[in-house]
Every structure is written in structure tokens, then in C-alpha cells.
Amino acid sequence: MKDNQDISSRKLIDRLVPDPHWGAMQGLLATTFDLRPEFLETDFLPSVFGLGAWDDQSWATRIALEKRLFELDAAVILAEARRYRGRPRSLRLDVRPAVSPRGSVLHAKVTLLLFERAVRLIVGSANLTKQGYRENREVIAVLTATQKSKKEAALITQGLTGMESALSSWLTPEARQLIRRSIATVQPWLTGNPDPDTAFVWSNGQTRLWREFVGRWPVGEPVKRISIISPFWSQDASLTLATFLTELKKVGPLASEAEVRLLTDAFKNPNGELIPVLPAAYATQDWQALGVKATAQPVNPEVHPEELGGMEGFTATRALHAKVVLVEGTRTGLAYLGSGNFTGHGWGFIPGADNANTEAGVILRRSLQSSDFDHVLPDLVGQPILLSHANIHSLQAPEMGPADEPWPEFIRQVLLAPVTADENKLELRIETAADGAGFLWSACLLSNDGVPGETLVPLEQTQDATKTSFTVSLSDLVLTRLLTEQEIQICWPDCPAGRPFPLNVEASARASLPISPGKQTIEEIHLISYYQGRIAWEQLFPDPEAGGPSGDQTAITPAPASGVDKSRIQSYQIREFVEALAGLNQDLRSATQSEPAMRLALLGPVSPFALAQTIIDAVEAGRRTPTAAGFQLVEILACLQSARSHSVPERLADVWRQHLQQVQGKISRLLEKLIADHSALFTSNRSFGRYRKAVFNGETTLPS
């Protein structure tokens, strides 16, 4: 946090970019108090995927992000329910509003990223917002473990173990499995015993942050100075800081001139001076009776000149949002950095199981000679203000923020899921709390141009207070609206006008979601061009709003090198097909690191199966002879048989074989039907039969 740090290390968003040697990302789980969907889509996700420069106005970049999300085993965002402000556009992101008991909130800011060869855990004070990662003054720890860098493996394991426990009531099955897979990935990298002087801590319920911290102070060592950085403070100083000092003195005595420094956000008064933002109660508290000298001082809000890149006249400032506590003794320093504000709920000073937030952070205990604390405290501005009655007017009282809007805490999830009797159809499922709502409520589509949305669950269906699950059959029109709007409106007595609630899609149904709206069938020539490496994957999904009146725009097709269009000459088509087989094989080889990636590469809109279907379409349209199409299908099947020998992670070997067998079966059936429909031609053409047997090692079909 110091302004003399290396500039690149202080840009939080840049620290998210992965090392290419880690391989593809396989899962993402993030918790946040505040979520801004536009930041997540245009800044955070492109950074963690390592997609480079990002232009959200470009359709291709949006499709690139959708493909990366499709390939993840899990992509889950847990956000504090009462702060919900909308969900990201991709339904491949599972967005779960976390409902906490009254008196507490989900306030932890932790991100887990699992790669093929790395596990990364990010913890700190930054919400998933532009302010958090680009504008505020925050504190963050980025922990990474790999085969070659094992130092942080034990700390990551500790954080993940606590994560599953602290978030248990909100975790989806995919999120829970991701945590366990990450722990299993890190296990081989653990060396020796965990460092007792470094801890990843979670707090909520009966686990209080102040106990986790105070319990790590060396027994008997005097405390000389305490520095607390917090943007938000409890109004009752005796509840928080006085309690903290009382508990700390039970472990180590206060030195004769012990000092407490409260480092706060800055406010510019009418005289142009920057003064601390702090409740008046901290000036009226009798600190002398507690044995300390207490002062307040604002953190420097100015943006460092090096960050401005030479811009002149730039006057923006950084709001303080970091949360740090540093206790210094005669030999030892103990520091906390994380999500917890120094409030009764944040540090758990208020008695009662439901009065502690869910928080997370890292605690470091080091010798004061260590350099680990060099960048923990930020640059300050102005002079320290002694906290006393005489200086009460030298403080700026915090402004009260707007109250959160009502939230339907009785709703647990809103889900699109396959119909039990027909997995190709989707239905809407709404689940409520285990004890039901206890009052009448309704659900409807969002209002459109001032017209109330169509009712999905009417009031009369919610009269049974014991009913906790509601299923809604969907017409094509309503399903299209749900996939487009991605929220429904919940109305209940506390909020008759209703609040939008995010829609999610069951994991088993996400594979069937379209990559982009509009036409999904891709022409053979475009698939061939992709497998030849002549166009990018994203170009196969044109913007439906950029085409003609129907929104049906064809993909970009590279011009032939000779300048002559040979695309309708069959011999040229077959030659182009043969040249694409190496690319098809490489595409399959690249898809072996996650089950969703396998499914997408083998059965998705850009896959051997999709290519086989376009070949059959060409026969039916008279653009391809049945014999030429038969040759192509046999070659695709041969590629799939060869793909059985690709290197696949052990945990996915059976899944890879199952998916290969599935797509081989589908294409084999296309081939058999082609032969049956043109039996006279194939019977008279013995060369095709000999060729087919040669490819399949003397058989007429591929072995299963």
C-alpha cells in the first residue's frame, strides 16, 4: 500500500493475469460483498483468463469470454444478497445471492482460481467492482502454488479448508467440488510443517476475528504501538477499540507509552485541510484510563504521479477501502489484512451467534526486523490528532450510506433445469427456505416497457406455507425471455413492487445453452477454415444485430489465395477437408483438461459432430456426392479413434473415453444411414468398402 512500491505491483487488476505455464483455467469461485456485473465481464474475467486487451464493444471478445466460461468445471460467484444489483450476462456464471442471518453479512472477498498446473487464492479488501480493483486504496494478498513454487501451498490449503466450512450454507455442489479438487491439487506440493506465524483466517458465527488475532500475540510481550486502518468504524468506541485493548492486555501488557493510531479516510474541510473521517465517540472515549495515547490521522488520498503516466492536471483521489491492523511490541509485529472493517460486526465484538460477519484475511506474525511489514501501512497526510474532547471538531463524522433495499430472503434459488421426462426441455424451478415463506408472494417476468411481466407463480399457489419448491412449465416465448432477461421479479409483503432475482441454469443444462443468440448452425466451409487456422473460433459466431433484417449474418470467410472461388468444386472441397484434419486433431488434443471443454470440442457447435452434420447437409442439398461424404465421415471417425490415445489427466480418462464413444456412435449412425439411403451406389463402389475396412483395420465400423 505504500506509494513508493513498484507501480505494477500496486495495480490490483494487473496482478490477476495468469502465467501461461499454468495451463487453462478449470474453475472459479469468488465471494464478494458488492458486485458490479459490468466490471466482472469487461475487466475481472478477461484478466483472470489472460485474454489480453479487452474491448467489450467487440462481439468477438464477448464470444471469446463465453467460450472460456463454457470450458470451466465451475464458475460460481457468491455475493451478499442485500447488495444485489444485477447479474452478469453469461448464464454459464452461477450467481448466488448469499442470505446471512440478520445482524451479519457475507463480507469476505476471496477468489479461488484452479488451473491445470496451479492454484491461486486471492484475499483482501477489494470487492468485485471497478472501484475495488482500479480506484480505491485497497490491500490484497495473491497466493499462488505450483509444482515449482510451493512456498504458499500450506497457506492456500488452510484457506481452502476454512472456505468450505465458512461458506458451507451457500456452496453449490460444483463450488464444493472445486474447493476439494483445489486442495487435492495442492497436496503433493506441501512440504514440511505449516508456518505457525502465517495464518489464513475465516470468521463468522462463533469464530470471531478478534479472537483469531489476539490469540496469536506472544504471551507476556509488551505492546508498544497499534495501528488500525479502516474506512468504516463502529459508532461505539467502547464496543470495539476499548474491548480490543482490554482483551489484548490479557495476553501482553501495554508498554508505559503505548500508542494507538487510527488511520482513516480523508476529508477536506473548508480550510482545505485533510482531516480524519471518524465518529465523535472516538474523541470522547477516555483513552488515558485504558493506558494508551490515541491519535487519528488520514491516509493520503492522492494518486501517485507514476500511475498517471505523465498526465497533467489530473485531480482524482483514491478513497480508502483497505482494512489492516498492525500491533508492534518490543520484538514482534502482528498484522491482519483482509475484509474486516474495525466494527462490531466486522471483528465480532457484538455477542450473539448471528452478529458476526463472514470475513476472511491473512494474519502475519514476524520479527520487527522483518521486511514483511514494509508495505502494510500507507502514506499518511497532515498531523496526528490527539483523540480527546478538545479535538472533537477536528474529526469529520462519517456520512450515513443509503439503507439496503428489501430482499426476498425466503427465496433460495431460481433455476432453469431439464424436465424430468424430457431432458431436451427446460422448466423453471423456484426453491424457498426450508420452513417456507410464511406469507403470500408471487413471481413474474420482468416488466417490459412499463407492461407488467407475465405471472409465473401466482399468489394463490403460495398459500401453502409448507411448500418449498415450485415448478413452472415454459412456453418457447417465456423461455426465450428468461434466457434474455436472466432475472425474474419476486413480490412479497415487504416489497409489493418486487425485486429482480437472478436466474441460474442447472449444471447439466448449461452445455445446451447457445454460445450466442440467433443462428447456431455453422457452415462447413467456415468449420474447415477454423480447423485450418484461417479464422478464429470467435468469428464463427457473428453478432446477430450486425447482419441483415433477420440478424442472420454469415461468419467471415477468408478469400482464396488464388483469387478464384473454388469453394463449390467438390475436389477442392475434399482437399480443403483433408488439410483441416490436422487442425481438428489438435483441437481435440487441446480440449482434454476439463469435462466441459471435452463436451464443447466433441459435440458443440464447432466439433467433429457439427462438421459431420454439415457434410450430410451438403449431400441432401446436392453439393456433395454420397461417396465423397462417406469418405469424409470415415476420416472424422479415424481422427476420433486416434484421439483415444491423447494424453488426458487420470481423473478425466474415463470421461474422455465416454465422450469419444458417444460422438463416434453419433457419426457412425450418420454414416450407416448415408450408406442405407444410397445402398445401390455404395454396393457398386467396392473401392469405398475396401477403403473403409483399411481405415478401421479390417472392420466395417469402429470398435467401441
Q: Which residue type, as a one-letter code, is found at position 179?
A: I
Supply the angle between the helices 595-603 and 59-70 in degrees, to the nearest 10: 120
pLDDT of residue 568: 57
Instruction: Look up residue 538 and give its DSSP letter.
Output: G
pLDDT of residue 512: 76
Strands 469-472 and 422-432: antiparallel
Query: DSSP letters along 4-51, please?
Result: TS-HHHH-GGGGGPPPGGG-SEEEEEEEESSB-HHHIIIIIHHHHHT-
Q: Where in the chain is the domain with CATH 3.30.870?
A: 7-195, 203-307+315-394
Q: Report the distance separating Cα 348 and Cα 342, nearest Å.
A: 9
The CATH classification number of 7-195 equals 3.30.870
pTM given for the model: 0.88
Query: DSSP letters along 340-409, please?
Result: --BSTTTTT-S-STTSS-BEEEEEEEEETTSSTTTTTSPPB-S--EE-SGGGGGGSBPPPPPPPPPP--T
3-state secondary structure of 302: strand
The number of beta carbons lying within 10 Å of the beta carbon of residue 338 is 29
Tell me, which fold does domain 411-510 have in CATH?
A: Immunoglobulin-like (2.60.40)
CA separation, residue 573 to residues 16, 166, 524, 614 (Å): 44, 58, 10, 13
3-state secondary structure of 660: helix
CATH 3.30.870 fits 203-307+315-394, yes or no: yes
Task: Report which of 670, 668, 645, 667 is spatially closest to residue 656, judged by C-alpha positions.
Answer: 645
Spans of the chain, pLDDT less than 70: 1-10, 53-57, 305-315, 450-451, 517-520, 544-569, 698-704
pLDDT of residue 547: 52
Instruction: Look up residue 543 and give its DSSP letter.
Output: -
pLDDT tens figures, 45-61: 999 999 876 666 677 78
3-state secondary structure of 59: helix
Residue 267 bridge partners (DSSP): 275
Neighbouring C-alpha atoms within 13 Å toward the C-beta of 139: 28
pLDDT of residue 520: 63
Q: Which residue type, as a one-letter code, is found at position 675?
A: I
Neighbouring residues of 544: CB distance < 8 A, sequence distance ≥ 6: 516, 517, 518, 519, 551, 552, 553
pLDDT tens figures, 47-104: 999 987 666 667 778 888 999 999 999 999 999 999 999 999 999 999 999 999 888 9
Task: Report which of 36, 91, 50 is spatially closest to residue 516, judged by C-alpha positions.
Answer: 91
Find the angle CA(140)-CA(146)-CA(150) to the nearest 5 degrees. 80
Please, is 269 exposed, middle or buried when counting C-beta atoms within 10 Å of its C-beta (0-12, 13-18, 19+)? Answer: exposed
pLDDT of residue 546: 63
Task: Report which of 662, 673, 671, 672 is spatially closest to residue 704, judged by C-alpha positions.
Answer: 662
Torsion angle of the four alpha carbons 186, 188, 191, 194, in this order, in degrees rounded to the nearest 10: 40
Q: Where in the chain is the domain with CATH 2.60.40?
A: 411-510
